[in-house]
Amino acid sequence: MDQGRIEKIKAWVDHGIKSGRAIVYPAGTHKLPEPLQGFDDRLNACRCIGELEGFANRRQFDPTLPRWTEEQRAAIITRKVGMLNVVKRKRK
């Protein structure tokens, strides 16, 4: 491939990135979209209290999201208590 054509492709990619039409993935990521997860999958994916609090208080970031149902709130609280108990056991 000649150098002029390579420069044109680089310019085209740079323009796509700057205009927001191109998606840039970090090295080592896959290109397939993640399957949609349900509430339970997302709740169980929280690895620490901070992630759980961000998940539980998501409406602070986007107020248009629906409120949690009572069952979902209970599940979040149960998960938090379980995480706190694990932390307490590790400290002993």
Q: For 20-59, write each residue's pLDDT tens digit.
A: 887 776 666 666 666 657 898 889 888 899 999 999 999 9
Q: Are 58 and 65 in contact (CB under 8 A)?
A: yes
Instruction: Specify the pLDDT at position 18.
Output: 85
pLDDT of residue 17: 83
Reported as a single tens digit per residue, the pLDDT across 52-65 is 999 999 999 889 99
Q: Does the reported pTM lie above 0.75?
A: no
Percent of the chain with pLDDT over 90: 32
